[in-house]
Amino acid sequence: MKITSALSIIIVALISIVFVSCKIQNIKAPELKFTSAPTASPEPPKETIESTSYPILMYHHVKNCDENCDDIEQGLSVSNSDFEAQMKYLSDNGYKTIFLDDLFYKSDAKTLALTFDDGYLDNLSEAAPILKKYNLSATLFVICDSVGTDRYLNWEQIKQLSDQNWQIGAHTKTHPNLTTLSKEDMEDQIASCKTEIEKNIGKPVKFFSYPAGKFDDTVISVVKDSGFSGAVTTVSGTKNNKNNPFELKRLRINGSDSLDGFIYKVSE
């Protein structure tokens, strides 16, 4: 105790001397700085817009098709090197990728959305590392009954993408032509897939992709009633309207597109 008291006296004396000498020399005593808990700066309010021309690009496979690819796969594939060149172009030219939730908000940057249909394994093994490298985001539309089967991602892998910069959307249970189904079957295909994805990734599923781009008014009303915020089609174009979020147009990127062709499409 005695030693502690003595130490205290010495410390107080030293502080006084420093303080007094600072006063004498008119030097400002060092200020004590307290670090307060960081407060998040409020996000500036987003300005909504009625119609946009932000391209929504549509991909399926990112893979190098060799003799193992059947005709369908061949038609749905963009090679790894082409995909990398496309993403590098976007990154080098100041493009920003958004999720579909942000489609009708004003953006100062050149803006687009990337989408992948079906949920193939190469989306994780080939596309995701390239997107990560260029800090780009994408939306993946999953066929629920194909999850974990040959060539398709399993739930763990889908969750892995969801935990990265990917948003997960629904693409029905079995990829049928929805316009040929009874309303009851339609509801099952659309709503149960949404619920299953949400159960597996622990996040709400907000967007839907019509299998083979087939839809009509009844399909749209079922998608709406199932709680989705919007849906993408295969109708080609970039002009989308806020009043029509269940018929979002996209641009298909083909394996045969040259880089110049790709640039032409995204800058339409």
Q: How far is CA 177 from CA 78, 189, 235, in A?
A: 25, 10, 15
Stretch that binds Zn ion, among 61-69, 114-122, 152-160, 218-226 (CB under 5 A): 114-122
Q: How far apart are the first and last CA of the chain?
A: 81
- Build a one-symbol-per-residue string for 64-103: x at contacts with Zn ion by CB under 5 A, - elsewhere: ----------------------------------------
């398709």: which residue's tokens?
Answer: 152
Letter for the amino acid at 53? S
Q: In terms of CB distance, is 84 or 169 closer to Zn ion?
A: 169
For residue 194 the two structure tokens come to 């949404």
Least Å distance between CB 118 and Zn ion?
5
Q: In terms of CB distance, is 84 or 117 closer to Zn ion?
A: 117
> Does the footprint of Zn ion cover residue 196 (CB under 5 A)?
no
Stretch that binds Zn ion, among 110-118, 194-202, 224-232, 244-252 (CB under 5 A): 110-118
Binding-site member from 117, 122, 126, 196 for Zn ion (CB under 5 A): 117
DSSP-derived secondary structure for 47-91: PB-SEE---EEEE-EES---TT--HHHHHTEE-HHHHHHHHHHHH
Measured CA to CA, the distance from residue 115 to residue 121 in angstroms comes to: 15
Q: In terms of CB distance, is 117 or 126 closer to Zn ion?
A: 117
Burial class (CB in 10 A: 0-12, 13-18, 19+), 70: exposed
SS3 143: coil
Stretch that binds Zn ion, among 21-29, 116-124, 240-248, 259-267 (CB under 5 A): 116-124
Measured CA to CA, the distance from residue 199 to residue 201 in angstroms comes to: 6
Least Å distance between CB 141 and Zn ion?
7
Least Å distance between CB 213 and Zn ion?
8
Q: In terms of CB distance, is 60 or 265 closer to Zn ion?
A: 60
By CB under 5 A, how many residues form the interface with Zn ion?
2
Binding-site member from 82, 84, 118, 196 for Zn ion (CB under 5 A): 118
Q: In terms of CB distance, is 104 or 208 closer to Zn ion?
A: 208
Least Å distance between CB 91 and Zn ion?
27
Residues in the chain, overall count: 268
Chain center to CA of 57: 13
Least Å distance between CB 215 and Zn ion?
13
Q: What are phi and psi of 113, to 5 degrees?
A: -125, 140
Q: In terms of CB distance, is 90 or 113 closer to Zn ion?
A: 113
Least Å distance between CB 149 and Zn ion?
14
- Enumerate binding residues for Zn ion (CB under 5 A): 117-118
